[in-house]
Structures are given as structure tokens and as C-alpha cells.
Structure 1
Amino acid sequence: MDSTTTGLAFRDAVDTDVDALVALVESAYRGDASRAGWTTEADILEGQRTDPEGVLQVIKSPDGRLLTVERDGRIVACCHLEHRGDHAYFGMFAVSPTLQGAGLGKAVMAEAERRARAAWGVSEMHMTVISVRDDLIAWYERRGYRRTGTMTPFPYGDERFGVPQRDDLQFELLVKPLL
């Protein structure tokens, strides 16, 4: 482990984390601040990625958790885990843009997978990714996820998910066996 992945504290998010988590997710995906990292969606989506109500709903969900990662008392990453029968869903994955590319995302994903197996005994992790995000999908493939070709439409017209800058957006299901 390098200095980016040492000193991390993993915990479930609480209500008082909402503002910091919204700021983290927005910084990782939208606007000019997101361009400091490689996970930006700024070229394909404008507007919000999430909002306080959406984050609080995830925190309060009885079937899931919002795994929060801190270093030196500051939230630096997060991900949503949800129990869905025989599999878990992985979403709302964000790493502070200035810390991307140094192994923190890999560490968070490994811990999320471990926790999903331990808590729910699931055999697979599922996620959906915007299908035009080739670099991001390739990163997930290097972590053991496979493309399924199963697509769902992007919610055009619902600005809670952002304002699309192109008309070919859809989500692809990625799956990984958890052994």
C-alpha cells in the first residue's frame, strides 16, 4: 500500500455526513473541479449528480449502506452498497479527484466487495455504468467486472440525474462474481 491507501477509516455514513458526501460526489463527476480526476462526466452531463435528499435516502435505506472512507478526519471516498437478493448493487462510487489514480479506488472497491459478502452472503456484485464511459468500464473490467450487454435507458428529462450533453446515453450492467 502507498500513502494514498494508508490511514483509511471505513464506516457507514450518518445523517451529519450528507453535505460532505454530496460535495464529494459532485466534485468527482461534475463541473470543472471534476477534471482534476479521471472519472469526470463533465463532457457528457451537466447539472447535479446527486442531492442531499438522495444521499439521505441511501443512508436511511434498510437494505443498504453508504460506505464512507475517511483519512485524517476528512471524507475522501464513498460508495453505495445495496442488498438485492442473491447479489449486491454497487453505486455512488466517488473518490476525491485529487486522490484518483493512486490506488484509493481499488482499496474502496475491495472493501465494499468484502463487506457485501460478509454482511449478505451474496455471490455477485452488480453495477450500472454509462455505456460511453470506456475508460471507466475498462477500469472496472481490470477489477474483475464483465460487461453484460444489458442496457437500460438514461432518464432523459429528469434533471436529478444531470443534464445530458449528448443523445446516446444509456446504462450498461456490469457483473462480478464474489468468490
Structure 2
Amino acid sequence: MQTLTFRTATVADIDAIVVLVTSAYRGETSRAGWTTEAGLLDGARIDPEVLRGDILRDRSLVLLAEQDGQLVACAHIADEEGAGYFGMFSVSPGLQGGGLGKRLITEAERIVRQEWGRTQMRMAVIDVRHELIAFYERRGYRRTGVFKPFPYGDERFGVPLRDDLRFEVLEKTLEGSAQR
């Protein structure tokens, strides 16, 4: 049985994170998993400089999941506007569907709740990603009906293949003890 460990990313992890995130969302490699955005977006999924900022910013971290020393999943979490933010959720395509992502989400929620004292977690999901939204709903997230525009023209986040993309904010109340 492989051991899963969590740790916080450093700037030395940026290249490996970019490879993992790209493999989960873009190009042919991503089609091996169910989280692919290959039919919606082309190009980059994450910009290394944006990632560097997320790693170095206060109350923001990139959570890494490793199996036997190999990077297999990651997510960005931050304390934004009085709530936790969850994004850049990526699991290696060949390992999707095996419970690894659920464990990563649970650890991210634990950090936001117990270490940062936040009782809400929010995320923004492309609203045409119905399977992904359903996955989050099964984890207790709810659709808020709040929409944000897709950053058309900013290729740091991809090249849209459709003109109807937008984000919907999902939210979850985190249960358990909260400490500051």
C-alpha cells in the first residue's frame, strides 16, 4: 500500500506543479482523467508567476499530495474575504477516481477550518463543468448562483475554445472546531 503524505509547496516545486496541473486539465494527457478541460480551453492552465505569488502570499498555500515521494495531487487554498478559497485542484489523470482527490479536499478543509479559523470554503468552477460541479455537491458544496466572468484575453489561464464560459461560485460550511 502506498503512503499518501501532504506538505506545503515551496517555489522549488513550481515546475512540477505546472506539469501536474497541465496534465490534469489540458491536452491529450488530460483526457485520461475526467477533469479535463481540453474541449473548453487550450494553452496554459496555470502561469508559473501567478503560482509563485500564491505560494509566497500570506494566508495562501499550495497543498501537495505525494505518494511514496511522487507528486500526485495539489490544490491552492487561501484566506480570502473572510472565507477559505479552494482552487487549482489537480489529481494525476491516471489516479483520478480512486479517492485521492477526496482526501486532498478533506485536508484542505481541515487547514482552512482548524489552522485559519474559517468556517466557509468557496471556489469558482466553470459552470458548464456539470460532472465537476456534481462532484463538489457530493462533498457538501452548494451552488450560490453567483457568477464571475471568465478572463477572456488573458492567456495565462488558457485560450478559450468557446465564447460562453463563466465561473459559478460554490460554497460549503465547514464543520468542526475552528481556531485562530
Name the TM tier (shorter chain).
over 0.9
Q: Distance in 2 between matches of 1:85 and 1:129?
A: 18
More displaced stretch, 52-61 vs 117-126: 52-61
Aligned match of 2:159 in 153, 157, 163? 163
Aligned match of 2:32 in 21, 36, 41? 36
Deviations 1:94-132, CA, capped at 9 Å, x for gaps? 000000011000010011101111111101000000000
Q: Is 1:81–2:103 an aligned residue pair?
A: no
> Following TM superposition, by how much is the alpha carbon of 1:135 offset from its aligned partner in structure 2, in angstroms?
0.3
* Identity over aligned pairs, percent: 58
Aligned match of 1:154 in 150, 155, 161? 150
The 8 Å contact of residues 47 and 157 in structure 2, kept in 1 or not, is answered as no
Matches within 5 A, 1:12-51: 12-51=8-47
Deviations 1:133-179, CA, capped at 9 Å, x for gaps? 00000000000000011001101111111111111100000000001
Aligned match of 1:118 in 114, 119, 126? 114
> Following TM superposition, by how much is the alpha carbon of 1:9 offset from its aligned partner in structure 2, in angstroms?
0.8
Moved beyond 6 Å, runs of 4+: none
Q: Is 1:134–2:125 an aligned residue pair?
A: no
List runs of 5+ in structure 2 lacking aligned partners.
176-180
**Residue type of the partner of 2:73?**
A
Aligned to 2:101: 105
- Give the TM-score normalised by structure 1: 0.95
Q: Give the CA RMSD over aligned residues.
A: 0.9
Deviations 1:19-43, CA, capped at 9 Å, x for gaps? 1000000000000000010000000
Q: Distance in 1 between matches of 2:157 and 2:31?
A: 19
Aligned to 1:71: 67
List runs of 5+ in structure 1 lacking aligned partners.
none
The 8 Å contact of residues 6 and 63 in structure 2, kept in 1 or not, is answered as yes
> Following TM superposition, by how much is the alpha carbon of 1:84 offset from its aligned partner in structure 2, in angstroms?
1.8
> Following TM superposition, by how much is the alpha carbon of 1:85 offset from its aligned partner in structure 2, in angstroms?
4.2
Aligned to 1:9: 5
Q: Distance in 1 between matches of 2:154 and 2:173?
A: 32
Number of aligned residue pairs: 175
Q: Distance in 2 between matches of 1:80 and 1:89?
A: 8
SS at match of 2:38: coil
Q: Distance in 2 between matches of 1:139 and 1:100?
A: 12
SS at match of 2:34: coil
> Following TM superposition, by how much is the alpha carbon of 1:15 offset from its aligned partner in structure 2, in angstroms?
1.4
